[in-house]
Amino acid sequence: MDSMWMANELGTILASEEYCGLTFSQDAIAEWIDQNIDPSDMGFSGTLQMMTEGARYNLGGMGASRKTAHCRSIERSARHYGFVE
């Protein structure tokens, strides 16, 4: 997967943690990064920060049904990767 795409996907999940009432395992997030991001990719962290902040901004405008669908999808993906405690 492309580094920017991965930063966007992970950023969306991370930005949704509080919004969706979830708690993530910090160890699982670290393990996902270890397994999926090339250690020589110096730009991943900055891109992840930008994508996370953008996703957090976008969450503010969701109506109830959109929030339900978003959070359900986020929770399923987060559980798949072992992020949810």
* In-domain check, residue 49: yes
Q: Tell me the pLDDT tens digit for each residue of 47-70.
A: 999 999 999 999 988 899 999 999
- The position carrying tokens 């930005």 is 15
What confidence score (pLDDT) does residue 61 get?
A: 84
What is the token pair recorded at 14? 């991370």
Please give the pLDDT value at position 1.
Answer: 61
- What's the number of domains the chain is made of? 1
Its domain, for residue 48, covers 3-80
Per the domain annotation, does 52 fall within a domain?
yes
Which tokens in the block code for residue 72?
């359900």
User: In the 8-state DSSP scheme, what is residue 23?
Assistant: -
For the cut 80, the answer to whether the pLDDT of residue 29 exceeds it is: yes
Q: Is residue 85 part of a domain?
A: no
Which helix (DSSP H) or strand (DSSP E) does residue 40 occupy?
Answer: none
